[in-house]
Structures are given as structure tokens and as C-alpha cells.
Structure 1
Amino acid sequence: MSLPPPLPGKLRLASWNVRKCFGLDWRRDPERVARGIARLGADVVTLQEADWRLGPRHSAIPPHAIRELAGMEPLPAGKGTSLGHHGNAMLVRERVEVASVAPFDLMGIGRGGILAELSVREVPFRLVGTHFSLVRRTRLSQQVEIVKRLSALEPRPVAIMGDFNEFSRTAGFAPFRVSKFDVREVGNSFHTTYPWAPLDRFVLKGLHMIRGGVAKGPEFGRASDHLPIWADIAWPPG
């Protein structure tokens, strides 16, 4: 089974590049994406390309669809009609308590992410959702920026997740690895028609991943050019 139900008492994280809600049939179908998000059963979901890329960057998926069809709440990371920051959005379920949400910019045109301080059952953790550059040299610099940002904060368990745009299985993550982050590849998430590249990943510190994978099935097969990734995390951490 590519997407088992969440483990009781654990924390499920998920990430999905939704390609502005344009499916492989080139239909823009936000409700299809929202139903896919619901199927993930995650406590926290990060989205990439959740907003239009040009102009005022309107949300590609209406917040009401996320609430009504996915049962999740978008965190306040965008300005105006944007759902996220540089297309990065973060969604949480009711049991996730939110202490703060901080959008940030990264080196590269139109790149950035969201850093959120969250807690579940009064146990705090930190989550970063991001979408890296297509150029490896820039991606490495972006990793350095994120590590510096996290190093300036009080230590706590952290997950960084999103579309890292790295095709290699062995290279491209030196800044994270030098800083003792655990880079977890859970399967090939791109391209949906023939998944051959693990572009989407989890990067963890202080969190133990019990299991993870790539979500497959009719809810995801035509909704985007990426498949979602998911991970079940031991909770509380340690």
C-alpha cells in the first residue's frame, strides 16, 4: 500500500508540489488537489507552487476548499490573495498548535519558504517548508541560509521539507549533512507519469522517521506533475 493510514499517536508530515493546481490533463482543478490533501491524512502539509507565479500571485487553491474538503487550516504566510510565500504554503490540522509563522526569502529569483513554530500535545517542534532553485550552486547556498537561520534559534526538533529540485541520490546536500541533519529520500516523486527522480524530500534533526513514502493512487495520479511525499514521525520525539 503506497499510503497507509497514519499511525496512532504519531505525527504525519507531508509535502506536495501542486503545480498551481494544473493537472496532467492541463485542467486547473483546486478541488481535486484539496481532496488529495485530505487523503494524505497528515497533521502538517507543505505545498509548493500553491500560488500563481506572476502578477499579484493569487492563490491557486482557495482557502475555503482547503478547509471544507481537506479539513485543514492554511497558516497566514501570504500577502493579499496569496496562500503562501513565493508559492510555499503550510497547512495544519486542528490538533496542531501554532506559536508563530515567519515567511522568509532565499537567494534566487522568487525563492523562499516558511518557518513555523508548532506543537502537538504541548511538545514543540519547528517546521520549514521550501522550494529550492533549479541550479545546484544556488541550492547549496540556500541550504547554508536555512542552517544559519535555524542555528540562531533555540534548539528544538526540526523538519525541513519540500521540493529540493535535486536529482542526485548521493550529492547536493553537503550543508545539511555537515550540520548533522538527516536527509531522507522516501521515493521517486517526479514525474507523476513515470516517477524516476526523488525531487521531494524530508530533512530532519531531532526527529525519528518511522516510515515514509510517495503517495500514489487516483487522487494524485493526474493532479500535478509531482506526487506527494509523506512521513510518520515518532511522537513525542526522542
Structure 2
Amino acid sequence: MQHLRIATYNIHKGVQGLIFNKRLEIHNLGHAVEQFDADVVCLQEVRKVNRQEAEYFTRWPQMPQADFLAPEGYEAVYRTNAVTRHGEHGNALLSRWPVLDHQHEDMSDHRFEQRGLLHAEMQVQGRSLHVIVVHLGLIRASRVRQLAQLRRYIARRVPDDALLVVAGDFNDWGHLVHRTLGSVGLHAHAQARVPTFPSRLPLAQLDHVFARGLRPVGLSVPNGPIWRRMSDHLPLIAEFAWPDAP
């Protein structure tokens, strides 16, 4: 394997629409994740359980969404960011490769937004690969502090010479994320940015995949009617070459 394929997707808890116009999209999302054919899928706004939605939808899955979305042969890792009145949701990682270890760190900056990061280490063809899934806050000052926390976490928990991917929904419309992560050797694809939000009329790229020790070779955003209806974000798929790949 010369290339590593990473997808990131905010799935909006598997439900679209409001109140009486709500529709369940988790089954379509399952087909979408399979189509990515990614080595690692990073997901945000993933529900472990929601009692209200389980009563409302007759086809609500009986298992946590991370397990439901994992294609056959993939390992699913989930950690909770937010606990609500009816359940809980957080970040998930689906890996084609064996997961050696995983950690979670709370990144909540204030009491109105519960945020966190999911860190997994996996073995990919004899190499150790670290992947961190993030979902940052809506307020810029919060994102500044969360990015500083992310840098401290990486310095503390990821060896300097390890292959590292950081992916997720950064909720940032400007250059803050690129500048901050670039200062610690994490870089995204150099091509023009590709909008991922809002899915019906994409204007901004809120979703990114950064890497250290891997060479970016391709970036794509699936688009079209079915993709625009499944979530308020479009998925982002990034390909990287291994350090010794031609």
C-alpha cells in the first residue's frame, strides 16, 4: 500500500430536518461510508444513544451509530463529548487496521459547548499511525484555546517521529487552524480549499485533514443531491503517500 486514504465527516447525528420534518439519514450514511473506501474514517456528531429519537423513528438502529456505520472488517472506536437530556454524542473513528490504543480528552471551553478529541493509535503494515479526531467550538476565542490545548496534547502524547493525522470539523472559516497546526509540522493539501459547509450550498471549508510525516497527494469532496441531504456538512476525503512511496 503506497497511499493512505483518510475521510472526515460531520454526520449531524444521523438525522436531518426539524421537528415534524425530521428524517432519518443514518442508513444512507452507512452506504456513504462504505463508498469512501477509506483506511480511516473520522466522524463527528455521532450518537451513542438517544432515547427520544429511538422512540420517534421506527428504523432507529439498535446499536450505537459508530458500530452501525462501520463497514465489515473495520474496527469502531467511539468516545463521548456531550451528555444531553436524552442521550450522548461525540467523535468516532472507523479503522481498516488494528487499533492498538485510544484516548479521549475533554476540550470544552465553556458550559454551553461540550467538545473533545479522540486519539487512536493503529498499526498499518508494521507502522504506528496516530490519528486525532476533533470537533472545535463555534466561538473563535474558544478555538484559539482549543488549538493550543491540541498542540500541548500532541507534544505530550504523540512521539515527535510518529506519523500523525489530525482530522475533523474545525468550525473555522479563516486561516487560524492552518497557521496554528502548521507551526507544529501538520499540513493539509496545498491546493485551493474545497467548501464542505453548508452542504446544500457549500461556501466554506470547515472540515480538514492535516498530516505530519505523510505527503499529501489528493483531496476530494463528494457532492450531489444525495450527499447534500444526508448532513449539513459534506464529507472530505484526503489521500497521502507514505514517506518512502515513489
TM-score normalised by L of structure 2: 0.79
Q: Which runs of 5+ in 2 are unaligned?
A: 55-60
Q: Any residues of structure 2 matched to 1:68-79 within 5 Å, and which?
A: 72-78=74-80
User: What is the aligned partner in structure 2 of residue 42 from structure 1?
Assistant: 38
Return the letter of the residue paired with 1:187. Answer: V
Out of 164, 167, 182, which is 2:170 matched to? 164
**Which structure has the larger Rg over C-alpha atoms?**
2
Count of aligned pairs between the two proteins = 224
CA contact under 8 A between 2:7 and 2:235: conserved in structure 1? Answer: yes
The structure that is strand-richer by fraction is 2
CA contact under 8 A between 1:48 and 1:88: conserved in structure 2? Answer: yes
Query: 1:192 aligned to 2:188?
Result: no
Pick closer, same or farther for the CA change 1:73–1:126 going to 2, 3 Å: same
User: What is the aligned partner in structure 2 of residue 136 from structure 1?
Assistant: 140
Residue deviations 1:96-151, cap 9 Å, x none?
12110101111323100100111210111110001000011111111111111111
User: What is the aligned partner in structure 2 of residue 105 from structure 1?
Assistant: 106
Q: Kindly, what percent of the aligned residue pairs are identical?
A: 25
CA contact under 8 A between 1:186 and 1:214: conserved in structure 2? Answer: no
TM-score normalised by L of structure 1: 0.82
The structure that is helix-richer by fraction is 2
CA contact under 8 A between 1:16 and 1:228: conserved in structure 2? Answer: yes
Tell me which stretches of 4 or more aligned residues in structure 1 moved more than 6 Å: 52-60
Pick closer, same or farther for the CA change 1:34–1:199 going to 2, 3 Å: same
Query: Aligned with 1:104: secondary structure?
Result: strand
Q: Any residues of structure 2 matched to 1:51-66 within 5 Å, and which?
A: 51=47, 62-63=65-66, 65-66=68-69
Pick closer, same or farther for the CA change 1:49–1:118 going to 2, 3 Å: same
Return the letter of the residue paired with 2:170. Answer: F
Return the letter of the residue paired with 1:117. Answer: E
Q: Which runs of 5+ in 1 are unaligned?
A: 1-7
Structure 1 Cα separation of the partners of residues 52 and 167 of structure 2? 25
Out of 185, 207, 216, which is 1:180 matched to? 185
Pick closer, same or farther for the CA change 1:124–1:211 going to 2, 3 Å: same
Structure 1 Cα separation of the partners of residues 225 and 43 of structure 2? 19
Structure 1 Cα separation of the partners of residues 210 and 171 of structure 2? 14
CA contact under 8 A between 1:129 and 1:161: conserved in structure 2? Answer: yes
Query: Aligned with 2:137: secondary structure?
Result: coil
Residue deviations 1:25-72, cap 9 Å, x none?
7312211111111111111111111127988999996355324x5653
